[in-house]
Structure 1
């Protein structure tokens, strides 16, 4: 009897995305080198937070594009210079001091939460909005601050500059975008800002149940064949929580660029950290320069450790967090392809 075909379910990460069909195709190409048709599904939750998708084939700014609609490094540098001179960059937090950037980003996240209601994790143990705010800030702001300081360091080092200068010689060999230091720093800061906003909305802004519902729906109605789940960034958190709740059998869970190892994120999980009951194997991959994955090892906290493999890989996207470079790394793609080649 021919075995039932495997299925891969993708869970995307922070920020707005292109339309779901195109996003699924992009992940298929990065992971398999071909379109997987009905053998893959995209748990597309961006529509819950963003009014309309990104335009087709525009670079995702959260994959490392210098600014949302810059067409070249020169245009990006010119835009940043104009913003800096006009003061708009300071207002947006791009060139504010790290502490000021953190304060602006936290305020922005709470204004966004206020628009949908401060529901949090069902409200347990909360003393209204003020208590909710105290819990949220204590849990996540330290992470945001660490991300911001690392953004300053990377923004300087990867263009050969120093903490005070603009740009210098001798860029690191893994540098992808030949940008001056303020622009490079802005790339990383935008990643920190969007990460915090979406994670904050997921845990404290009432967005969590609906996002988890999208993932649960994508996991329903499968034919019982081997299941692979791939989660990126915040999507790895959502995938983990849904699998932890369901206990559904998963041949392989793959998380890339994940914040799950961060203590401040673990503190907000609905259940204590552990490998979801039905997950037979878990591979967690990150780049050392990825701001979102400041801690790179899940094995110490998520037992049983023999089911988890932590991997350090190279992600040469502009901010070292982009999904395509993660999925194309052999340690990420080969175990997935083996499941499909062997069992399809």
Structure 2
């Protein structure tokens, strides 16, 4: 006797979106290549932040779409779509000079150490960009550099003092990601999590797959952590859950939510939202987590359609459906 087909619940990320039904269909097409009807659901929380959805088939710049007039223009003005090394070097420099870089004892805001460390940061980002492109060229089959499923990829996220690593993320959030600020600091978190909770089908409806992008991965994680739902597969893409400053804001210490049987975390090394790329060192039990690096060729390397099209995302979802259908 076959078990019931699983339900897929999507949780979108930052920025305004097209209307809910169309957004769900776009995710279905990117992930499955077809509309999944009532097999998939969208936890659509954009309406809490934006009075009107985007016009049909317009993609918000924060989702990797083109920069246009209006809200997306603010992202362009902030420099979000500069080359990553230019953006991070500039924002780190600004944050350092504004704050004095707490925790960087012995360094002065205008001294030679600034030049040396910022130069090292630029070099690291350029190396990460080249590595991401190299991974893309080398992809075959599963095609990703993986940790947690038999492969090993020694990866130091950034071999520089933590304040420099996180200054870029703080500045990125302050300039462009008002939804992240609203979630953590503006009192919007409970309402967003309620939308996610209401999108989850009753446990009796059968197996569950949850896919969260960007801030949506945080909301999905916190809901599952709180309610301990049985989940066959949790997929997080372009997620900031590895960043210490994000972990500091979580209601509970980092851990795989009880009931989650497998967790696949996918990111592009150039995705500035996912400055940390590995969850296994932070969340236990680590054997349930697989971290995968992919090439996301959207303009900001954070686009959801490009993530969902990756074999590192499609393969575990397809396998879960095949095993449970």
Q: TM-score, normalized by length of structure 2?
A: 0.71
Gaps of 5+ in 2: 103-117, 137-168
Note the C-alpha offset of 1:223.
Answer: 3.8
Output aligned runs, 1:54-93, within 5 Å. Answer: 54-69=54-69, 93=78
| TM-fit CA distance, 1:341 | 2.6
- What runs of 5+ residues in structure 1 fail to find an aligned partner? 71-75, 81-87, 107-137, 139-148, 161-171, 175-187
Match of 1:218 in 2: 199
Q: Give deviations 1:217-267, integer Å, cap 9, x for gaps.
A: 001435431110000000000000000000000000000000000000001
1:189 & 1:237 partners in 2: Cα distance? 16
1:98 aligns with 2:91: yes
- Cα offset, 1:33, TM superposition: 0.6
In structure 2, the CA distance between the partners of 1:39 and 1:190, relative to structure 1 (3 Å rule), is farther
**In the TM superposition, what is the alpha-carbon distance from 1:27 to its structure 2 partner?**
0.5
Q: Given the superposition, is the C-alpha separation of residues 55 and 218 from structure 1 closer, same or farther in structure 2, using an over 3 Å criterion?
A: same
SS of residue in 2 equivalent to 1:310: strand
Distance 1:67 1:190, change over 3 A: farther
* Distance change in 2, residues 1:14/1:47 (3 Å): same
- Whether 2:29 is the aligned partner of 1:48: answer no
**SS of equivalent residue, structure 1 residue 341:** helix
Q: Is the 8 A contact 1:4 1:223 kept in 2?
A: no
Please name the residue that 1:302 is paired with: 283
Deviation at 1:204, TM superposition (A): 1.0
Deviation at 1:340, TM superposition (A): 1.6
* Separation of aligned partners in 2, 1:7 and 1:65: 28
Distance 1:59 1:321 in 2: 12
Q: How many Å apart are 1:63 and its aligned residue?
A: 2.7
Is this contact kept in 2: 1:292–1:321, CA < 8 A? Answer: yes
Q: Aligned residue for 1:199?
A: 180
In structure 1, how many angstroms separate the alpha carbons of the residues matched to 2:175 and 2:65?
13
Tell me which residue corresponds to 2:267.
286
Question: Residue 34 of structure 1: SS of its match in structure 2?
Answer: coil
CA distance in 2, matches of 1:200, 1:287: 23
User: 1:252–1:336: 8 Å Cα contact kept in structure 2?
Assistant: yes
**Correspondences of 1:176-191 after superposition (within 5 Å):** none
Deviation at 1:49, TM superposition (A): 0.4
Query: In the alignment, which of 279, 294, 299 is matched to residue 318 of structure 1?
Result: 299
CA 1:298/1:60 → structure 2, altered by over 3 Å: closer, same or farther? same
10 and 191 in structure 1: CA distance in 2 versus 1, 3 angstrom threshold: farther
- Residue 275 of structure 1 aligns with which residue? 256
Q: Paired residue for 1:239, among 220, 223, 231?
A: 220
Q: Which residue of 2 aligns with 1:133?
A: none
The change in CA–CA distance for 1:273 and 1:57 in structure 2 (over 3 A counts) is same
Q: CA deviation at 1:58?
A: 1.5
Offset, 1:329: 0.6
1:10 corresponds in structure 2 to 10
TM-score by length of 1: 0.67
Aligned residues: 260
Report the 3-state secondary structure (helix = DSSP H, G, I; strand = E; otherwise coil) of the residue aligned with 1:5.
coil
